[in-house]
Amino acid sequence: MTRQTDLGKKVIYQLYPKSFYDSNGDGIGDLRGVIQKIDYLKQLHIDQIWFNPFFISPQHDNGHDIADYYRIDPKFGTMDDFREMVKVLKEAHIGVMLDMVLNHISTDHEWFQRALAWDAKYQKFFYLRSPKANGDLPNNWESKFGGPAWAPFGDSGQYYLCLYDKTQADLDWHNPEVRQELEKVVRFWMQEGVEGLRFDVINVIGKDEQLVDSPSPRQLTVEKALYTDTPVVHQYLKELNQKTFGADDQIVTVGEMSSSTIENSIEYTNPSEHELDMVFTFHHLKVDYQDGNKWTDMPFDFQKLKHLLIDWQTKMDQGHGWNALFWNNHDQPWALSRFGDSGQYREKSAEMLAAAMHLLRGTPYIYMGEEIGSINTPYQSIDEYNDVESINAYHQLMAEGKSPQEALHLVYLKSRDNSRVPLAWDDSPQAGFTTGTPWLQPKNQERINVKAELDHGEIFNFYQRLIQLRKSEPLISAGHFRAHLADHPAVLAYERYLDDDQLLVFNNFYGDATEVLVPSEFVGKGGQVLIDNYEADLAQLPGQIKLRPYESLAFKISRS
């Protein structure tokens, strides 16, 4: 698997342009801001940066509602800025990965506007349907942001499908002209020097031409099966691969896979299938959802988390699939606030989470701010939030009988705005992000910021060490996966193995010390500690190890 061996050496940094650094004082991060912070990015020795969308957009969904695939929104800069950024990043040996939102477009997009103007060609670009005979909506599907997944199509009497926000119209991939237009978009950005492509919610492009009712309304798991991971998605991805990025070995591709299965993810990423390089999947980030409901307050289910990670790692390895490894992104509250300790053990739990993920089989992604131990933002009012999903959830929670305080607490725990708050560069009121008024107000910068972390912190340095190990240690970049201590109540333990070498990894997910029995086949074996966030010093593995709070220990044994 030469392709996957190469992917295993890469580390990708996700950058939310709106919140990274503002170069002109308008309160919004921009491309020139990225250029000005190149030296910071170089220190991590990352291979690529995945940029969230910075195309023309009305910003109803923070740029995932694209109104023009070919133009950069003036809020973020110009095409000249983009080309300069690509150039200086390439000089720093960092490639650019762009976000391709190809399932839907903004209703401001020319295609949708021409459809509204009765252009028959463009009306075929969308799922336009008449109401049922009784006047009901075309079907009973729910929007992922709340409410029905249909909106009136002008004054035509028809409705258009919008699985996300009402201003995001789903494209009909059954129409070959739609696919051809989207292929042009991909080729355009490849010609501009892009080396990576991240495809947004790409496994929902295969909706059936007959959009039937969900047999269990409001049971989203049942409903999602009607439009998720359908067989035609594989056909579409093979076609996209063949006609765009497939001939260029330098292009790295990743698909965001909503509610995908392991079997489908293997097919998406097995090199022999010629679809994508890797997948983002989210099952492990739903283990603190009460009865599957995101907007709830419950401790994360560690056993569920552990077994999901083990199951995906084991079966993807066996099936020659490939995972994108991540805890954080722009759609998630901070993992450190969910699975770690944002107070007493912030540093140690941040490092443990990093090691637990980075030492797995796959390609790690670091979301900006993760490398300095960022945590959730304690806003005091719903008016301080920007995210459409969070605001909708707040009002829905109130409608369900929650008090304003209860609803706000649940939004604080799970809002996507937590990770979208501007990156704190220093402890000033605007966090060194802007000289103006930030689009979203930072709150934690007095405690957590880049300057303080680089001056006297330990998390950033720990990430540097993990990245260096991935590039230098074949066990990590190319090794296979085997689980250990599967029923331990506090520890995720696993082995990476390759030829005659083994790496045994122990991760304590709690703030209490815990004992682990070392599997008998490793006891007394000589080797070395590759990394430990408490700097353990072992020359061989004893029969029992006491792991300190949030300790991560990786021990390498070489038989050669």
**pLDDT band at residue 558 using 50, 70 and 90 as cut-offs:** confident
47 noted as active-site residue: no
Same-domain pairing of 114 and 165:
yes
Same-domain pairing of 313 and 232:
yes
Same-domain pairing of 149 and 15:
no
The yes-or-no verdict on residue 213 having pLDDT over 90 is yes
Q: Environment class of residue 76 by beta-carbon count within 10 Å: exposed (0-12), middle (13-18) or buried (19+)?
A: buried
256 noted as active-site residue: yes
pLDDT in tens, 424-444: 999 999 999 999 999 999 999
The yes-or-no verdict on residue 223 having pLDDT over 90 is no
- The strands making up 150-152's β-sheet, listed across from edge to edge, are 128-129, 159-161, 150-152
Same-domain pairing of 162 and 36:
no
Same-domain pairing of 239 and 350:
yes
Instruction: Single out the catalytic residue among 22, 61, 256, 389.
Output: 256
| Residue span of the structural domain in which 389 resides | 381-414
Same-domain pairing of 192 and 275:
yes
Same-domain pairing of 180 and 238:
yes
- What is the rounded average pLDDT of the residues 18-36? 98
What CATH number does the domain containing 133 carry? 3.90.400.10
pTM: 0.95
Q: Rounded mean pLDDT of the chain?
A: 96
Distance CA 177, CA 121 (A): 9
- pLDDT value of position 559: 75
Distances (CA, A) of 117 to 123, 155, 428: 9, 11, 50
Instruction: Report how many domains make up the chain.
Output: 4
- pLDDT value of position 431: 98
pLDDT in tens, 497-540: 999 999 999 999 999 999 999 999 999 999 999 999 998 889 99
Instruction: Single out the catalytic residue among 61, 170, 200, 277.
Output: 200
Which of 170, 200, 215 corresponds to the end of one domain?
Answer: 170
**pLDDT band at residue 258 using 50, 70 and 90 as cut-offs:** confident
Same-domain pairing of 369 and 506:
no
The residues, any chain, with a CB within 8 Å of residue 136's CB and separated by 6 or more, are none
pLDDT in tens, 361-395: 999 999 999 999 999 999 999 999 999 889 999 99
**SS3 letters for 298-321?**
CCCCHHHHHHHHHHHHHHHHHCCC
Residue 336 inside a domain? The answer is yes
Query: What backbone torsions phi and psi does residue 57 show, to the nearest 5 degrees?
Result: -165, 145
pLDDT in tens, 286-317: 999 999 899 999 999 999 999 999 999 999 99
Same-domain pairing of 72 and 158:
no
The yes-or-no verdict on residue 218 having pLDDT over 70 is no
Same-domain pairing of 490 and 457:
no
Q: What is residue 370's DSSP assignment?
A: G
